[in-house]
Structure 1
Amino acid sequence: MSLFSHHRSDTSIGIDIGTTSVKAAVLQRTLGGSFKLVNYGLIESVGSMEHFNNAIQSSSSRALDSDLVSYLKFLSQKLKLSAHTPAFASLPSFTAYTTLLEVPVMDKRQMGAVISEKAGVYVPVPLNSVTLDWIVLGTKKIGDQVVQEILLVSIPTEKIESYVKIFEAAGLRLAGYEIETISLARALGRNEEKPVLVMDIGGRSSSFVVTKKGLALFSGQTDFSSGSLTQALATGLNISLARADMLKRRTQIIGGAGEHELSTILIPIIDVIITEADRIRKGFEAAFGESVAGVLLAGSGANMPGFADYLTKKMGLPVQTSNALQSLHYPSELEPFVAELGTTLPTAIGVALKGFF
């Protein structure tokens, strides 16, 4: 099964298997060719708050297959998912190796051989242990030569085989998969004519991707996350993780009277996340010769009070909170929840959209 396989259908299920939660989005193609969110679901891992190390998967631990099967079965039951509807899964960025390649313009047959040869240089593990694929990002001129810019993606074959078995055990048909940054770019960057940096501040890791016109152009990841902020508050103030999470959600990054102590705990970790985001921005600008025009915030840390303003000050870029539902139709009863869903579901929506392209 190709990493970037295409399965045409009028309905598509997107499954975002993260570090502390599993999210699902069910999309339908309308008669007019647009897309509608017809259902969604989210399940948090048991004990993910009070037991910081109890993640579904992380860069230092493997996913627990039995747990994932249970979570997917639960979502499938609640959302009444059909085994006949194609499902598409996102994989965390830390499971994959990605790199940018420049190759001469050539046909697909030649490109496959050239990229396989180059992959042996850039992929830091034996090629027989990974599944390779690539996306053509565009062309650029270097001197008198026109070259194609290629995003090379390699995912451990063991990981893919594990996902296939998990979905089969859960009664779902896995039709395709991709890394989460590609899904994020598709969900949030389809209408962006200029490059924007998406920062997905998750529960146990944060992902970054520069996107334009829905393509994932340059990406990265760090283990510093929303959960890191919660852990720091809990340790620094000697309080429970649940109490720390509540404080984090209502504390201004630049604290006023009575919040200075909290700010001094939060800011060093936030600055580490911003430093990594800025590294991705500069890496993109050096590789592509274009400037990032702005920042879109997603994930559980996107709505921290004052975060957008602080980020604008630190990076000198306009910052907005993402809204993955902006270009979708959805039931009117979801209107009160759009702001939250817009930052929670981008990856699930993005990988569901894969089924239509």
Structure 2
Amino acid sequence: MPALNHFGLDIGTHSLKAVQLSGSSEQPGFVAAGQIPTPPHTVSAETEESVEALAATVKTLHKEARITTNKVVAALPESQIFTRVIELPPLSAAETRHAISWEAEQYVPIPMSEVRLDWQVLGKTVAGDKMEVLLVAAPIILVERFIKTIKAAGLTVVGLETEITAVVRSLVQRSEGAPTTMVVSIGASTTDLSIVTGGRINFTRSIATGGVALARGVAQELGFELDQATEYMKTYGLDATSLEGKVMQAIKPVFDVIVNEIRRSLAFYATKHPDLPVKRVVVTGGTAKLSGLVIYLAEAIGLEVQIGNPWEGVSLPSSIAPKLEEEGTSYAVAVGLALKQETK
């Protein structure tokens, strides 16, 4: 199996994260990691200035984190791509390729000439008369912008994949015998949901609500500036006993939007896979460590909830292990990208 010889780059709306590992995906060794704030409004902007600003920041991160390779596997933001599990009749590989293009037109709201398609056959449906296929459509303009940005930083793109694919690799696929798991990744601007059975992604959904929306709720309710509201949100979160529960009451209506989407997703999945019920929820992302979040979510959905640890199985240097473990939820995508094994 080829050795890992690239680094993972997670270009988030709030921060950029980079992780480099050595060895193999089964026995990874730590090389380097770091994160740096993302220049405001650069990830979704299509201007030349935004590309240059983002590229300069990637270059700075590469240097400051002491990454030793120029090869990059990066993640495309879930909110800007189209991912869906579709059902097709049993087909040959050639027939599937033709059918995918036709099916994608039904679900992707932009012309097929403007996207790059990828797919993975997951297996048969419960009834056994159809097969499930994970369909991913990425706008070409988005792919080209990411490649251009990374090249402008003096680096070489060796792979692009979705954030959900990377998170599932770092948090679920390395755990042998893991039960059917829902992964909830709460980022700055979106929350991405996925359900994983037998190491394969069987369901995905992206919600346009994340940490920034929660902080805005605190700002509006308590009359704070957004920066101060963010600090209060991180400190007191969904803990009903802190500050007389004022921060929790400000966050709750927004967080319940996420909770309701989780409930709906679990109910939909249960109709498709009644024989493989979700047994646990793993939470990750920069907003995952809010005080009281695990207990609140567990009580709301009636399932075991745990914080994901992407560093599990990775030997970290003792000097930086506490900091990296504390920030672990922020690194889940980048670790997953760093673990991507080349197929040869």
* TM-score normalised according to structure 1 size: 0.87
Instruction: Give the alignment's Cα RMSD to 1 decimal.
Output: 2.3
Change (3 A) 1:69 1:136: same
Aligned match of 1:22: 16
Q: Is the 8 A contact 1:200 1:297 kept in 2?
A: yes
Change (3 A) 1:306 1:68: same
Change (3 A) 1:127 1:303: same
Paired letter, 1:349: V
Aligned length: 338
Q: CA deviation at 1:136?
A: 1.8
Aligned match of 2:37: 44
Q: Is the 8 A contact 1:253 1:306 kept in 2?
A: yes
Q: Give the distance between the partners of 1:353 and 1:257, measured in 2 at CA.
A: 39
* Identity among equivalent pairs (%): 28
- Once structures 1 and 2 are overlaid, which stretch shifts more, 226-235 or 181-190? 226-235
Quick check: 1:170 aligned with 2:153? yes
- Once structures 1 and 2 are overlaid, which stretch shifts more, 315-324 or 221-230? 221-230
Quick check: 1:256 aligned with 2:241? yes
Summarize the alignment of residues 175-186 of structure 1 with structure 2, pairs less than 5 Å apart: 175-186=158-169
Aligned match of 2:290: 304
Q: CA deviation at 1:22?
A: 0.9
Aligned match of 1:49: none
Q: CA deviation at 1:139?
A: 2.4
Aligned match of 2:182: 197
Aligned match of 1:347: 333
Quick check: 1:158 aligned with 2:141? yes
Q: Secondary structure at the match of 1:11?
A: coil
Quick check: 1:74 aligned with 2:60? yes
Q: Is the 8 A contact 1:19 1:205 kept in 2?
A: no
Quick check: 1:211 aligned with 2:205? no
Q: Is the 8 A contact 1:12 1:353 kept in 2?
A: no
Q: Give the distance between the partners of 1:257 and 1:17, measured in 2 at CA.
A: 33
Q: Is the 8 A contact 1:189 1:215 kept in 2?
A: no
Q: Is the 8 A contact 1:205 1:224 kept in 2?
A: yes
Q: CA deviation at 1:252?
A: 4.9
Q: Is the 8 A contact 1:196 1:292 kept in 2?
A: yes
Aligned match of 1:269: 254
Q: Give the distance between the partners of 2:247 and 2:112, measured in 1 at CA.
A: 47
Aligned match of 1:331: 317
Query: Where in structure 2 are there 5+ consecutive unaligned residues?
Result: none
Paired letter, 2:7: I
Q: Is the 8 A contact 1:298 1:344 kept in 2?
A: yes
Change (3 A) 1:70 1:283: farther
Q: Is the 8 A contact 1:69 1:166 kept in 2?
A: yes
Aligned match of 1:50: none
Change (3 A) 1:62 1:313: farther
Quick check: 1:231 aligned with 2:216? yes
Paired letter, 1:159: L
Paired letter, 1:314: A
Aligned match of 2:100: 115
Query: Where in structure 1 are there 5+ consecutive unaligned residues?
Result: 1-6, 47-53
- Once structures 1 and 2 are overlaid, which stretch shifts more, 252-261 or 275-284? 252-261
Q: CA deviation at 1:257?
A: 6.5
Aligned match of 2:86: 101
Paired letter, 1:132: L
Q: Give the distance between the partners of 1:33 and 1:255, measured in 2 at CA.
A: 41
Change (3 A) 1:96 1:252: closer
Q: Is the 8 A contact 1:325 1:341 kept in 2?
A: no
Q: Give the distance between the partners of 1:281 and 1:62, measured in 2 at CA.
A: 36
Q: CA deviation at 1:348?
A: 0.7
Q: Give the distance between the partners of 2:314 and 2:342, measured in 1 at CA.
A: 14
Cα distance per residue 1:218-269 (max 9 Å; x no partner):
1112222111121221222222222212211221524226423222211111
Q: Secondary structure at the match of 1:263?
A: helix
Q: Which residue, out of 111, 118, 126, partners 2:111?
A: 126
Summarize the alignment of residues 234-249 of structure 1 with structure 2, pairs less than 5 Å apart: 234-249=219-234
Q: CA deviation at 1:129?
A: 0.6
- Once structures 1 and 2 are overlaid, which stretch shifts more, 317-326 or 21-30? 21-30
Q: Secondary structure at the match of 1:183?
A: helix
